[in-house]
Amino acid sequence: MEVVQMKLNFNLKDSITYNNYLSGCEIRNMEEFMIKLHKQFDEDFQLNTVEYLGRNYGRESKKIFELAMKDKSLAEVLTDDGEILAEVYYAIKYEMAKTLKDIFFRRTGLGTLGNPGEAIIKKVINLTSKMLFWDKERQLLEYNSLIEAFKLPE
Three-state secondary structure call for residue 73: helix
Looking at the predicted structure, is the pLDDT value of residue 24 above 60?
Answer: no
Which residue in 93, 106, 142 sits closest to 121, CA to CA? 142
Residue 124: what pLDDT? 99
The full set of domains in the chain, from first to last, is 30-150 (1.10.8.870)
**How large is the C-alpha radius of gyration of the chain?**
19
Q: Is the pLDDT of residue 7 over 80?
A: no
The whole-angstrom separation of Cα 44 and Cα 56 is 19
- The pLDDT of residue 17 is 63
Q: What percentage of the chain has pLDDT greater than the value 90?
A: 80
State how far the Cα of 62 lies from the Cα of 79, in Å rounded to an integer.
Answer: 19
Cα–Cα nearest to 57, from 93, 27, 28? 27
At residue 131, does pLDDT exceed 70? Answer: yes
Q: What pLDDT is stored for residue 25 in this prediction?
A: 63
**Separation of alpha carbons 42 and 133, rounded Å:** 34
